[in-house]
């Protein structure tokens, strides 16, 4: 009988398998090293790019800080200028205001005259309270003024009217005017007319209504 010894072949195969495992392990390690190097390189590029962006932003911030240097001082100067301008406007209004108010009274007490008020605002007032509307057919000659005084935007007007309704019409008109904030009837009394009222009132010794109106005004 012939005998064959297979032991050396088995040993060689085991050695070969061990070398293969070792080679695979080395390859895996090398692959991991390559991947790590690539990732590290990419991360380094990202860090470098972020650093460049940060540097650019800081440059912009520095430029903006230089631009707004003294910002608080500029705001203070602007505020001071606005206050001075407001004072100038107030003085200018006080200088020309009484003239404007007198012209407004002249418009109210003239033929076809009416108070200065935006039409939309006037229509809204009439819609809410029709009694506040002025009488377009009213005879302006039925009221005349005797005195006008103004102190710190508070006015006192004295005059006469043929009747209490005429005085009420005058009061309605000035309260509708954009120049008058609020006006109230302070007093009324019957007295002889200070002007010739023939043709306006009947009778020779007729008495008319003397009135005093007080109120605040605004200069437009």
78 in a structural domain: no
Q: What number is the average pLDDT over the span 37-48? A: 72
Tens-place pLDDT, residues 49-62: 777 777 777 877 77
Same domain, 207 and 106: yes
pLDDT of residue 12: 61
Domain boundary among 65, 90, 121: 65
76 in a structural domain: no
Tens-place pLDDT, residues 70-86: 667 777 667 666 765 66
pLDDT of residue 104: 93
Q: What is the pTM of this model?
A: 0.59
What's the token pair of residue 115? 């108070």
Same domain, 125 and 186: yes
70 in a structural domain: no
| C-alpha–C-alpha distance, residues 29 and 153, integer Å | 95
pLDDT at 10 over 80: no
Q: What number is the average pLDDT over the span 115-122? A: 94
Same domain, 179 and 131: yes
Is the CB of residue 208 less than 8 Å from the CB of residue 192? yes
Top-confidence residue, 205 or 108:
108
What's the token pair of residue 155? 């006015």
pLDDT at 204 over 60: no
38 in a structural domain: yes
Same domain, 55 and 152: no
29 in a structural domain: yes
4 in a structural domain: yes
What's the token pair of residue 12? 């060689």
Domain boundary among 39, 65, 91: 65
Which of 126-145 are b and which e, b meaning 16 or more Cβ less than 10 Å from the residue's Cβ? eeeeeeeebeeebebebbbb
Same domain, 58 and 147: no
**Domain membership of residue 33 as a residue range:** 1-65
Domains in the chain: how many in total? 2
Same domain, 186 and 118: yes
Q: pLDDT confidence of 199, banded at 50, 70, 90?
A: confident
CA distances to 1, 108, 171, 182, 184 from 133, in Å:
143, 13, 11, 15, 16
Of the candidates 147, 220, 133, the residue with the CA atom closest to the CA atom of residue 186: 147
Q: What number is the average pLDDT over the span 11-27? A: 70
């Amino acid at each position: 009988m012939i005998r064959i010894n297979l032991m050396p072949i088995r040993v060689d195969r085991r050695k070969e398998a061990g070398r293969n495992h070792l080679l695979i392990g080395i390859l895996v390690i090398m692959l991991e090293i390559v991947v790590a190097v690539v990732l590290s390189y990419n991360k380094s590029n990202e860090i470098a790019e972020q650093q460049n962006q940060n540097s650019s932003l800081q440059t912009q911030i520095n430029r903006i800080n230089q631009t707004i240097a003294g910002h608080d001082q500029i705001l203070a100067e602007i505020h001071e200028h606005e206050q001075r301008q407001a004072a100038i406007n107030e003085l200018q209004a006080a200088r020309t205001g009484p003239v404007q108010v007198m012209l407004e009274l002249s418009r109210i007490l003239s033929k076809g005259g009416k108070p200065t008020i935006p039409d939309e605002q006037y229509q809204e007032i009439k819609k809410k309270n029709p009694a506040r509307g002025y009488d377009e057919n009213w005879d302006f000659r039925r009221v005349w003024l005797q005195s006008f005084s103004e102190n710190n935007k508070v006015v006192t007007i004295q005059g006469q009217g043929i009747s209490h309704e005429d005085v009420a019409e005058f009061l309605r008109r000035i309260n509708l005017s954009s120049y008058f904030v609020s006006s109230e009837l302070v007093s009324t009394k019957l007295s002889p007319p200070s002007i010739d009222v023939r043709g306006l009132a009947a009778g020779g010794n007729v008495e008319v209504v003397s009135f005093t109106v007080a109120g605040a005004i605004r200069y437009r």
